[in-house]
Amino acid sequence: MAAETKFSVLPRHIGIIMDGNGRWAKKRGLPRTAGHKKGADVFRDITTYCSELGIEAVTFYAFSTENWRRPPEEVNTLMDLFREYFEELERRERENEKMGFRIRFIGDISGLPADIAALAAETERRSNSETRTTVNIAVNYGGRQEIVHAAQLLAQQVQSGALAPEDITEDLFAKHIYTGDLPDPDVIIRPGGEMRLSNFMTWQSAYSEFWFSDVLWPDFTRATLDEVFADFDKRNRRFGGV
């Protein structure tokens, strides 16, 4: 059962750019890796809160196609955090089933270390029957890369004769992106002080509301998310109409 809320409407799908981990650590004289570890704890709590509220889907920007350019130590720490997350999922499998988490990984998973790619596939298989909250974790992901991937899938169908070019519509294209079975995000959240999408959900964000904040991701709380919901509650979403 969904938790009681004071909002008249909640978003069905939330996108979150988890930004500010490194700056959070620097402010405290800690290595950037400490910020990522703290950010991972916040990810877990916000995921749980979304399920408690009955949010249909939440997509977290965890590792972009551009993040490989970061220092090797930082990249290795992020990969180890993914491994720790898989270990935690195994320990808390019954609890996650109770929460109704369907966990998916979107992006070019084949470009990840082999053990992480295999663990991601197994996690998706185990949670695929859950229906309460879909948790998308965008790893080795880029919005433009996602669009190219969808175009390649459609091109293959055209090449095989299964599809004519004039049959390609926005709706058909949308079904071939990673989140094609979900509603587009109603709101995209970016803490950390930056005001850009950074190649996140480029296709899906056409009519998303945006919420930006100076709060760094490791300081993001359930109360912060409530601020997002209160703001979303006031938005007048016309989708191009009057």
CA distance readout (Å), 111 to 55, 115, 141: 30, 11, 10
Known catalytic residue: 19?
A: yes
The residue annotated as part of the active site, out of 45, 67, 219, 226, is 67
Nearest to 109 by CA among 76, 149, 74: 149
The residue annotated as part of the active site, out of 19, 21, 96, 140, is 19
Residue 200 burial (10 A CB sphere; 0-12, 13-18, 19+): buried
For residues 107 and 139, the answer to whether their CB atoms sit within 8 Å is yes
Neighbours of 138 (CB within 10 A): 27
CA distance readout (Å), 160 to 152, 153, 157, 195: 12, 11, 5, 42
Known catalytic residue: 236?
A: no
CA distance readout (Å), 216 to 7, 28, 62, 148: 25, 13, 15, 31
In whole angstroms, give the CA distance from residue 112 to residue 102.
21
Phi, psi of 182 (to 5 degrees): -120, 155
Type of residue found at 65: T
What is the set of active-site residues? 19, 67
